[in-house]
Amino acid sequence: MSIKRVKQRVLHQLKSKDSNRDNDRVLLANIWYGELVDMNINPQELSAKGFLKLLAEDKLSNPVSLWRCRQLLQEQNEELRGKSYKGRKAKEPKIRDEVKDKSWQHADMDALIEQAYGMD
């Protein structure tokens, strides 16, 4: 799908439902639902295996492209921002510092997983 078409779909979803502004999974689901309908596929009758096959065959929009497009549109258009936009932006510097911190690369992977998921 062309970049222009992706932008149109994301813009339409951001304008049509507030829930699409704060939750990328909801946004993806709504866009993919529309794409399935456009392909004359009934989403209610499509199996998970059939859906995954369409996704793997690149017949549905790339989730990363949709996510990046949403980010750009919300950055450029204040009225498209959701309730959590300011909170995410406030956390951005801390997250950037964590990504730049290379000490995690040498950490014990099991310990990182336990820390991330609260497993003991």
CA distances from 46 to 6, 28, 66 (A): 23, 16, 22
Residue 120 pLDDT greater than 60, yes or no? no
Q: Shortest CA distance to 81 belongs to which of 23, 22, 13, 25?
A: 22
pLDDT given at position 107: 62
- The domain limits of the chain are 3-117
44, 37 contact by CB (below 8 A):
no
Mean pLDDT value across residues 10-37? 94
Helix (H) or strand (E) holding 19: helix 19-22
Lowest mean pLDDT among 4-13, 31-40, 70-79, 81-90: 81-90
What's the mean pLDDT when you consider all of the chain? 86
Measured in whole angstroms, how far is the alpha carbon of residue 2 from the centre of its chain? 18
Residue 119 pLDDT greater than 70, yes or no? no
At 69, the amino acid letter reads C
**pLDDT band of 115, cuts 50, 70, 90:** confident
pLDDT tens profile 41-83: 999 999 999 999 999 999 999 999 999 999 999 989 989 988 8
Query: Mapping DSSP to helix (H, G, I), strand (E, B) and coil, where does residue 1 land?
Result: coil
Mean pLDDT value across residues 7-22? 93
Residue 17 pLDDT greater than 70, yes or no? yes
3-state secondary structure 11-71: HHHHHHCCHHHHCHHHHHHHHHHHHHHHCCCCCCCCCHHHHHHHHHCCCCCCHHHHHHHHH
